[in-house]
Structure 1
């Protein structure tokens, strides 16, 4: 069966734009979490975020495009340029119908929407931009990527919160197997505005700490929630044979994917994360013992971390596999988080090193997991597992390994 490989990575995160600066910061344990700057959050219980402060849209996009797009789309388009450049793809490498797009979204263009609603309330409907009709929409990133890069193949969007990035990744693989030679996939989020902020708070699980080093500490004793993040990643996925024929470097192969769904609490039943792990392993033909690192979801609350740790120990045994949560340095970026974890897994395969989980001295002993903390850990790459869970019961898992 056709193998799908990742040939390009474009990352936009609060601790680094583009994969090189981001990866350097991640290996150094350098966090980008700090007080919210984009609006006055002092009156809210949560005041910290992983905010991107060094992105200037005018340096990446035309003056015509900027008024049409929300910040999340601006970041997405820039990340796609970085990913395509990293893959060495030039215009004309593939025909327009040989390229597709699969993205994920959880919030849509909240910042754009809030601004235009304010214009409606304060000045009337004639002051609302015509671009409001699509700039807020969940699927707008897929559409804008298709237009920018002339990609007329299969296109879609997944709305499954934090798990959405892996769902889009799996869809890219499915389309490669169906015959599409190249896919752009991933997710990028940006909702650091009052409208987006209260929506995140309503979902629960946010840390109210005002200390950036103690606010988001997944699997740590006394963990009290997460910090919202901004950003994500766009990845170039190609048919392995076509990539090899054009001399492309492959970071790794998408070996297996799976998604499950938890029943509502009133219905009971076990969480579906363990089943997602086992199905992804089965899909990849990989044994649990072959997994050399897990990039965990790491929600940062006692209940969610315990459930994830129980799934890991059930599959791999107590302290059976190194676990890393690099998003502790960026905040939880909703549907953008898992694509960044995929990027970390691929870069770990390339460099034979596992990034640390920042600001966590050690995992709480009751979780019985081997959490990588303090400094990067060398490893002999076999396969990597990436996990994600979304609000409402979404679970997703992906197995990555070195391309053959």
Structure 2
């Protein structure tokens, strides 16, 4: 059976543009949550967000395409290009049918769509551009990336809210096992437009706190909800038989599983724990083999407790508590972009041997059998479990491990 390995990483996130800047920020445990424009804060009850700094669209996207697409697609196009460059992968010399794009999406081109709908309401139908039909669509980033690079493999878009980044990576492994040589997977979001903030506010889960150090504090007794954010990551995933001995490999996609709670808002940890067990079994490893868990880290007391109970159900019998991290608390919840970014972070942890921290953790909740990492530290990291949940009851888990060519 084909083995799927990651050879390239592209990041556009509040930690910076590029995997290097992101990794530097994670290692330093640096908080990247900043104030939203004042009008949005007053209207939607949230004053903070993880915002991508110093992103210049025309450095990454052709001018003609800028007017046709939304910010989230700009992020994806930039991350795709960086993942290809990082890997040294040139699509122009490849069979176009051997390369696919399988990105995830949640809010789509919300900023573009809101602008066009405003034109409709205020100026009438003739003010709406033809690009509205393609820019807001949740498959826009997948489509634009495949067009830009001439990729004609079996492409798709995964829509499972915050779990989508992991689902796209799991799907990429499936596509590779069916015979496609390379897949671009992951995803980005740009959910900070007024419309997107209104949708997130309706769920009642965003933190009202105004200080970045107090707002998104998962697994902390101060937990009050999450801070929204934008950005994400794209990975280039390949069949290991096609990479060649000279190519760098960040790690192997060893296991993946997804479950559903069966209802939209459950407090039971059963299906989340089941997804973890299934992912570990798919990878052929046990709880004792896991060196790090990157948690979903919802940021509110009820859902954090549920994840802790799920982790305890899976890892509670270990002699040494499993390290649990949540570096996303430093940037906010990026929906599909957050889980994709967590996977990229896990691969960098494997490469450099680092346990990242739970961001903003000062007063940890009681979590017997788990080590909620307070400060980043060096440690051997061979196997990482990455967790993600999506609104509506989605649970997804991904096992990444150090790649050994011999198997």
> TM-score, normalising length from structure 2?
0.96
Q: Is the 8 A contact 1:363 1:369 kept in 2?
A: no
Distance between the aligned counterparts of 1:266 and 1:297, measured in 2? 16
- Equivalence for 2:200: 200
1:164-183 per-position Cα deviation (integer Å, ceiling 9, x unaligned) = 11110001000111110000
Cα displacement (A) at 1:241:
1.1
1:27-62 per-position Cα deviation (integer Å, ceiling 9, x unaligned) = 111121011139632233111110113111011111
Task: Identify if the C-alpha distance between structure 1 residues 282 and 111 changes in structure 2 by more than 3 Å, giving closer, same or farther.
Answer: same
Describe how 1:2-401 pairs up with structure 2 within 5 A.
Answer: 2-37=2-37, 40-244=40-244, 247-264=246-263, 271-317=270-316, 320-366=321-367, 369-373=370-374, 375-401=375-401
Distance between the aligned counterparts of 1:211 and 1:267, measured in 2? 30
1:146-168 per-position Cα deviation (integer Å, ceiling 9, x unaligned) = 10111100111111011111110
SS in 2 for 1:381: coil
Cα displacement (A) at 1:91:
3.5
SS in 2 for 1:162: helix
Task: Identify if the C-alpha distance between structure 1 residues 243 and 386 changes in structure 2 by more than 3 Å, giving closer, same or farther.
Answer: same
Distance between the aligned counterparts of 2:280 and 2:391, measured in 1? 23
1:270-304 per-position Cα deviation (integer Å, ceiling 9, x unaligned) = 53110000000000001110000000000001110
Unaligned runs of 5+ in 1: none
1:313-371 per-position Cα deviation (integer Å, ceiling 9, x unaligned) = 11111772000001001100001111100011000000001112222124212565311
Cα displacement (A) at 1:244:
2.2
SS in 2 for 1:52: coil
With 45-54 and 335-344 compared, the bigger mean Cα shift is at 45-54
With 38-47 and 205-214 compared, the bigger mean Cα shift is at 38-47
Distance between the aligned counterparts of 1:193 and 1:141, measured in 2? 18
Unaligned runs of 5+ in 2: none
Task: Identify if the C-alpha distance between structure 1 residues 179 and 112 changes in structure 2 by more than 3 Å, giving closer, same or farther.
Answer: same
Task: Identify if the C-alpha distance between structure 1 residues 113 and 295 changes in structure 2 by more than 3 Å, giving closer, same or farther.
Answer: same
Q: Is the 8 A contact 2:207 2:226 kept in 1?
A: yes
Q: Is the 8 A contact 2:265 2:393 kept in 1?
A: no
Distance between the aligned counterparts of 1:197 and 1:170, measured in 2? 29
Task: Identify if the C-alpha distance between structure 1 residues 255 and 114 changes in structure 2 by more than 3 Å, giving closer, same or farther.
Answer: same
Q: Is the 8 A contact 2:292 2:385 kept in 1?
A: yes
Task: Identify if the C-alpha distance between structure 1 residues 367 and 390 changes in structure 2 by more than 3 Å, giving closer, same or farther.
Answer: farther
Distance between the aligned counterparts of 1:271 and 1:227, measured in 2? 26
Cα displacement (A) at 1:191:
1.7
Distance between the aligned counterparts of 2:40 and 2:116, measured in 1? 19
Q: Is the 8 A contact 1:187 1:336 kept in 2?
A: yes
Task: Identify if the C-alpha distance between structure 1 residues 38 and 7 changes in structure 2 by more than 3 Å, giving closer, same or farther.
Answer: farther
Cα displacement (A) at 1:268:
8.9
Distance between the aligned counterparts of 1:189 and 1:164, measured in 2? 11
Cα displacement (A) at 1:267:
9.2
- Aligned CA RMSD, in angstroms, stands at 1.6
Task: Identify if the C-alpha distance between structure 1 residues 126 and 38 changes in structure 2 by more than 3 Å, giving closer, same or farther.
Answer: farther
Task: Identify if the C-alpha distance between structure 1 residues 38 and 134 changes in structure 2 by more than 3 Å, giving closer, same or farther.
Answer: farther
SS in 2 for 1:263: coil
1:247-267 per-position Cα deviation (integer Å, ceiling 9, x unaligned) = 210000000000000022799
Cα displacement (A) at 1:86:
0.3
Q: Is the 8 A contact 1:220 1:363 kept in 2?
A: yes
Task: Identify if the C-alpha distance between structure 1 residues 137 and 18 changes in structure 2 by more than 3 Å, giving closer, same or farther.
Answer: same
Distance between the aligned counterparts of 1:343 and 1:71, measured in 2? 21
Task: Identify if the C-alpha distance between structure 1 residues 65 and 107 changes in structure 2 by more than 3 Å, giving closer, same or farther.
Answer: same
